Amino acid sequence: MRKLFIITILMAATTVVYAKCRNVFVEMGYQPAQVDAKLKEVFNDVFRGPNKVYFEVGDSMGYVSDIKNHDARTEGMSYGMMIAVQFGEKDIFDRLWRWSKKYMQHQSGNREGYFAWSCKTDGTRNADGAASDGELYFITALIFASNRWGDNTGINYKAEAQHILNCIQPKEYTPEPRKGGFPGFGGFGAQQQGPQKMYLIDPETKLITFTPDGFGNRYTDPSYHIPAFYEVWAKWADDGRADLWKVCAQKSREFLHKATHPVTGLNADMCQYDGSEMQMPRWPGMPQPKPGEKPRRNGSNNFRYDSWRVPMNITLDYEWSGADAEWQRGYGERIQNFFYSQGVDKFVDQYRPDGSLPEENEILQAGGFRKLRHSIGLVSTVAAASIMCKHAKSKEFVDALWNAKHEPFEDGYFDAYYDGLLRLFAFMHLSGNYREIIPQK
Return d(Cα 223, Cα 227) in angstroms, integer: 11
Contacts 24+ apart (CB under 8 A), 48-51: 51/406, 51/414, 51/416, 51/420
Query: Are residues 296 and 308 in contact, defined by beta-carbon separation less than 8 angstroms?
Result: no
- Tell me the three state secondary structure of residue 420: helix
How far is 105 from 57, CA to CA, in rounded Å?
18
Dist. CA 93–CA 47, nearest whole Å: 12
Q: What is the CA radius of gyration of the chain?
A: 21
Residue 277's beta-bridge partner residues?
Answer: 271
- Alpha-carbon gap, residue 12 to 347, rounded angstroms: 47
CB 168 within 8 A of CB 134: no
Give backbone dihedrals phi and psi of 57, rounded to 5 degrees, phi first: -125, 115
State the Cα–Cα distance between residues 250 and 225, nearest whole angstrom.
11
DSSP H helices in 100-150: 132-149
Per the CB < 8 A criterion, the answer to whether 221 and 212 are in contact is no
Catalytic residue among 160, 306, 319, 436: 306
- 41, 50 contact by CB (below 8 A): no
The strand pairing partners of 54, in sequence order, are 64
Confirm whether 75 is a catalytic residue.
yes
Q: What angle do CA 210, 181, 115 make, to 5 degrees?
A: 65
Q: Which of 75, 202, 324, 362 is catalytic?
A: 75
Residue 432 · residue 12 · CB < 8 Å: no
- Stated as kind and residue range, the H or E segment containing 242 is helix 242-259
Q: Is residue 26 classed as helix, strand or coil in its secondary structure?
A: helix
Provide the terminal-to-terminal Cα distance of the chain, rounded to the nearest Å: 26
E strands present in 94-191: 118-119, 171-173
The residues annotated with a catalytic role in the active site are 75, 306
